[in-house]
Copies of this chain bind each other. A is one copy, B any other.
Amino acid sequence: MDFSAWMSSIQQRIESALEHLLPASSLEPARLHEAMRYATLDGGKRVRPLLCHGSGEIFGVAPELLDQAACAVEMIHVYSLVHDDLPCMDDDVLRRGKPTCHVEFDEATALLVGDALQSLAFQTLSETALAAPRQVSMLRLLAQASGSRGMAGGQAIDLAATGQALSLEELEFMHIHKTGALIRAAVLLGAHCGQADEAALASLTQFANRVGLLFQVVDDILDAESNTATLGKTAGKDAAHNKPTYVSLLGATQAKQKAAELRAQAHDCLVPYGAQARRLHELTDYIVERKF
């Protein structure tokens, strides 16, 4: 199967699994469930679920054993987008080509959508068929990645950084938390579904750290160079919000050079796995070459 067919097949699996895991709109409270489904379904590239599946494939894990972990990470990601778009945060009106959740529904509902998606992510991970000790490790990993020393902490650092002059080190520190923590969790959860040993987890952590930064560098380039219609979210908002980015710090040319280096480093981390790591290798390329 070529990469594009593999990607489509995983994206379809994830859509169908999310569809199943999210409460039906007919269940009370119906408006909340409708809004959770609006925010989660039919949108996004599902990069984190793809990374989770790609990582699990290294260890020969069957796709059906990876879906719940992949969906749990995606639920955390979607909740963070819904909260990040709220007026008190980025105040954004467009996401994945649709009105943001608080615009389509209302702010209070969007707040609860995020809250409930976070709970559902942990519920989903607690309902896998994996052995209990492994489930506990995975739940701990996702909780750490989501919290104040992970993704939520990264958003706090981002808030504090808006309008500030950051060094490249400070910018990386922010992204290692804000985007990096969850990307790392996606890769490691996939590996946890299989028989990954400590050495494998360590090298995949290195891979994920590179991919997390790579993802952000490319995001910054796209935000600076693309347009809203292509991105499906508001373009140019980093500059408009006076947010430090790789492009504002390094310039576009050097940012692209940085992306090329990170891609090469990420690929290097996969060498020990040979052809087993094919999908993670291809995903790294996809992250660089994507147009939105």
Residues of A within 8 A of B (CB): 23, 27-29, 31-33, 36, 79-80, 83, 86, 88-89, 106-109, 111-112, 114-116, 118-120, 122-123, 126-127, 131-133, 135-136, 139-140, 142-144, 146-150, 152-153, 155-157, 159-160, 173
Contact = CB atoms under 8 A, between A and B. Distances in A.
Chain copies in the assembly? 2
Contacts of A36: 148
10 contacts: A33-B148, A83-B115, A89-B111, A109-B159, A115-B146, A116-B147, A118-B119, A123-B140, A123-B144, A136-B139
A105 to B, nearest CB: 10
A147 B123 contact: yes
A148 B29 contact: yes
A143 B120 contact: yes
Nearest to A118: B118
A88 B116 contact: no
Contacts of A80: 115
Nearest to A130: B136
A215 B187 CA distance: 44
Q: Secondary structure of the A side of the interface?
A: helix
Contacts of A142: 122
Nearest to A144: B123
Contacts of A159: 108-109, 112
Given A23-B148, A114-B115, A126-B143, 10 more contacts: A29-B148, A29-B160, A88-B107, A89-B111, A118-B118, A119-B146, A120-B143, A122-B122, A122-B143, A136-B139
Contact of A139 (B33, B108, B139): B139
B133 A119 contact: no
